[in-house]
Structure 1
Amino acid sequence: MLDQTLLVFGLLLSVALLGVVGLFTVRHFRRKKSLRRTGLSAVRGLQQLLTLIQQHRGLSNAILHGDHSLQTAIVAVRPKVLTQIEHCEATSVWLKDDNQWREITLAWAKITADFSTFTSETSFQRHCDLIAMVLNIIVTTAQRTYLVGMRGVRQKNDLAYLWQDLLVVAEKIGQVRALGIGIAVDGYCSPDRNERLQFLLAEVINASEQLLCVIPNPEVIAANIARFVATVEERILLARPTISALDYFQIASDAIDSLYEHYQSEMRLLMAAAFR
């Protein structure tokens, strides 16, 4: 009789433990899914902010090299940055209490306040520092909200490249765009600037080759990057560049935009799946 009682007690205890484990598993899954929704919304908005700051950097360099025809364009970008900052804070309320985010908003405010005193090199570096902070908070957010390790909705591929590799390639192209537009405006490429740009372009080529190995259906992206690289090599890295600043900016932007269009496409699919 005692043995039967112990057996029944043991079975009941096992069932209870399984129930508790199951409950915690369900709660963990729900929390993880909720965090992923938060993370996807946040990184999507942060990438859009990143795009605007990169555009502002390129336009700033052109203006500081003397092309004031782009003044209208840069004036149009600045309120978009502020609107996107407000959008990020509205959709990801936790950002307001994040130290990294406070540094980002402060850095942007200083760039716009001090712009009239900048040299082209100061402007370039201050923008690059700000962009590095935005890239860092995207990676941090992806890690905190379980986005790292997610797989694609269509190809079921590893999406790790979205949070780092793709954004890094876009930023490297953005740096070459910003420096190259200054050369196009000046109509002259000094040996020092040539060497600097060649170094950055080599980084673009190496990083993009690695990215194109893991990104699904990369044909359009590959074609736009190849066109951009050829433009830099054949029309910017010359003693006398043979392309206008506006045309160069557009070709560089096409390469960056194709990367970000893929990014946003994957974000839309992931968000649709996360909210089912």
Structure 2
Amino acid sequence: METPVSLMIILLAFPVGFLMFLMVSLSRKKRQANLLFTQGIEYIKLLRTLLTYVQQHRGLTTGFINGNLGAKPDIEKIAIKIKRIMGELDEAGDWIRSNVKWSSLVDHWTRLGITYLQGDADKNFKQHNILIANLLYLIDDVADVHHLSKITGDAMDTDWRYLLSIAEYIGQVRALGTGVAAKGECSSVLRIQLNHLRNKIASSVDSSWPDKSRVEIQQLLRCIETQLIVDHPSIQAGDYFKLATRCIEHVLDQFDRQIDRLQYYRN
């Protein structure tokens, strides 16, 4: 009798033990996935803030180089904010601290932060563009590694990474336009660049966005057409910078909404 009983115990114990192991393993994997997701959201929010500051720095320095010397205090304040947020990102986790793209970005910014003092507007603009492009690539990496994806199933949702691209189109328009307004003239090269970006922005505006967002972006597009790419630009650099900044904020509000939805559906 002892052998069959022992065999039954073994036969029962094996599947029970296997199920317990499976449950513990799945629970651990879920916990790890949640931690990875939470860390990714933290990175995305910090990188979004850094992106905003670097874009502002590009616009302000372009205006400064072209004659808007009153922007110097604002440039210095933004530089302090960039340094602070980079420090927060360094402290946020091992993944980003050991990331080669992040190290390269920090090194690039160290040099770029004072490049505008050389007075070369074109070089300043292009170097900022390179840094921002690499920052967007890093955000893509965070999204892939930490399993952050678009919420599907809602026709009103837009891919949040695409929203950052739209914000960058407006950011470039803000920088170039601020330079034109500060200098009081628009070269043929700048007219082509501004027109190209203007068309990209116009084709990117989503009809589902709030009325205020769409109205203000349309106001920016009209401003470019009637007050910038003309023989005698007629808008002050500071006023143009503020208008373009509000438009960027409208787009980034949509971005923040998408990130909040990601967290909501994950939880």
The partner residue of 1:253 within 227, 245, 250 is 245
Which residue does the alignment assign to 2:224?
232
Deviation by residue 1:142-178 (Cα, 9 ceiling, x = unmatched):
11111125x38xx96796711x101000001100111
CA distance in 2, matches of 1:205, 1:245: 22
CA distance in 2, matches of 1:234, 1:262: 28
TM-score by length of 1: 0.85
Which residue does the alignment assign to 1:136?
137
CA distance in 2, matches of 1:157, 1:93: 36
**Is it true that 1:25 corresponds to 2:17 in the alignment?**
no
Bigger shift: residues 259-268 or 97-106: 259-268
Which residue does the alignment assign to 1:56?
57
CA contact (8 A) 1:65 1:186 kept: yes
Which residue does the alignment assign to 1:182?
179
Deviation at 1:81, TM superposition (A): 0.6
Q: Which amino acid counterpart does residue 176 of structure 1 have in structure 2?
A: V
CA contact (8 A) 1:62 1:185 kept: yes
Query: Which ranges in structure 2 are unaligned for 5 or more consecutive residues?
Result: none
CA contact (8 A) 1:41 1:92 kept: no
Query: Which ranges in structure 1 are unaligned for 5 or more consecutive residues?
Result: none
CA distance in 2, matches of 1:165, 1:3: 66
CA distance in 2, matches of 1:76, 1:225: 27
Question: How many residue pairs align between the two structures?
Answer: 266
The partner residue of 2:163 within 162, 166, 180 is 166
Which residue does the alignment assign to 1:148?
149
| Alignment root-mean-square deviation, CA | 2.9
How has the CA–CA distance of structure 1 residues 156 and 10 changed in structure 2, closer, same or farther, with 3 Å as cutoff?
Answer: farther
Deviation by residue 1:81-101 (Cα, 9 ceiling, x = unmatched):
101111111223432211111
CA distance in 2, matches of 1:157, 1:25: 33
CA contact (8 A) 1:188 1:239 kept: yes
Which residue does the alignment assign to 1:110?
111
The percent of aligned pairs where both chains have the same amino acid is 25
Segments of 4+ moved more than 6 angstroms: 1-11, 155-160
Q: Secondary structure at the match of 2:64?
A: helix
Deviation at 1:113, TM superposition (A): 3.7
Deviation at 1:6, TM superposition (A): 8.6
TM-score by length of 2: 0.87
The partner residue of 1:198 within 195, 200, 209 is 195
CA distance in 1, matches of 2:212, 2:21: 51
